[in-house]
A and B are shown apart, each in its own frame.
Chain A
Amino acid sequence: DTEVTQTPKHLVMGMTNKKSLKCEQHMGHRAMYWYKQKAKKPPELMFVYSYEKLSINESVPSRFSPECPNSSLLNLHLHALQPEDSALYLCASSQAGSVTDTQYFGPGTRLTVL
């Protein structure tokens, strides 16, 4: 199984809402990532978890709160977002410490903030 799944596929939320994005993988990968991608732009790294511990936070605003409950799951909790946060949110995983660090991406959650 080389699949990373993400739910929901689409999400529309108001600026006062609280919502969560979910990501799951069963490849035994111990590194998991959240990226944000705006239209016609490259993915931008937000967070990296290594062995369920947050290892990299790319100065992301606190209205985005990541959580890694176990080695297969990664969540991104959203609160008080702004319209400019509308984007495709991609989750990825990789085998920590591998030579190539190949990242496997999920299909993404397309988020619209009204």
Chain B
Amino acid sequence: GQSLEQPSEVTAVEGAIVQINCTYQTSGFYGLSWYQQHDGGAPTFLSYNALDGLEETGRFSSFLSRSDSYGYLLLQELQMKDSASYFCAVRSSSGGYQKVTFGTGTKLQVIP
């Protein structure tokens, strides 16, 4: 089976940096994605890591360590609009096809 674990809630101050961790167990691993979802909204893609290391996209960075089955999302210069749920998602093989399994989600609250 597959499992992905994330902290359920994180609170951080506006302008600060926050790191959201994700540990996973899966077979046929291809890569790790991160999605943001505001309350009442749809998930939107943030980043994808297939190889070990750090990927940077503006204020957001994502890291992957395949040997540790671990990744994180780093959000810098936090803004109030970053308050949302963040999901890591594993892309893996399934019966010759690929599928995406979402983690438990982390609710980020940014406070003034």
Interfacial residues, chain A to chain B (CB-CB below 8 A): 33, 40-45, 48, 50, 55-56, 90, 99-108
A103→B33 CA distance, assembly (Å): 10
- Report the nearest B residue to A108, measured CB to CB: B42
Are A56 and B100 in touch, CB under 8 angstroms? no
Are A99 and B42 in touch, CB under 8 angstroms? no
B 30-49 contacts with A by CB, 8 A: 30-31, 33, 41-45, 48
A50→B94 CA distance, assembly (Å): 13
A105→B46 CA distance, assembly (Å): 13
Are B45 and A42 in touch, CB under 8 angstroms? no
Using C-beta atoms within 8 Å of the partner chain, give the interface range for chain B. Answer: 20 to 34
For A43, the chain B residues whose CB sits under 8 A away are 43, 87, 102
Are A42 and B102 in touch, CB under 8 angstroms? yes
- Report the nearest B residue to A48, measured CB to CB: B99
Are B97 and A50 in touch, CB under 8 angstroms? yes
For B104, the chain A residues whose CB sits under 8 A away are 42
Residue from B42, B50, B104 with most neighbouring chain A CB atoms (10 Å): B42
Q: Mark B48-61, 1 if CB is under 8 A from A, else 0.
A: 10100000000000
- Report the nearest B residue to A4, measured CB to CB: B42
Residue from A45, A50, A106 with most neighbouring chain B CB atoms (10 Å): A45
Q: How far is the CB of A48 from chain B (nearest CB, A)?
A: 6
For B48, the chain A residues whose CB sits under 8 A away are 99-102
Q: How far is the CB of A79 from chain B (nearest CB, A)?
A: 25
- Report the nearest A residue to B49, measured CB to CB: A100
Are A42 and B97 in touch, CB under 8 angstroms? no
Are A55 and B97 in touch, CB under 8 angstroms? yes
Are A103 and B102 in touch, CB under 8 angstroms? no
For A101, the chain B residues whose CB sits under 8 A away are 30-31, 33, 48, 91, 98, 100
A99→B87 CA distance, assembly (Å): 19
A48→B50 CA distance, assembly (Å): 21
Q: Which of B30, B33, B44, B98 contacts A105 (CB 8 A)?
A: B44
For B41, the chain A residues whose CB sits under 8 A away are 107
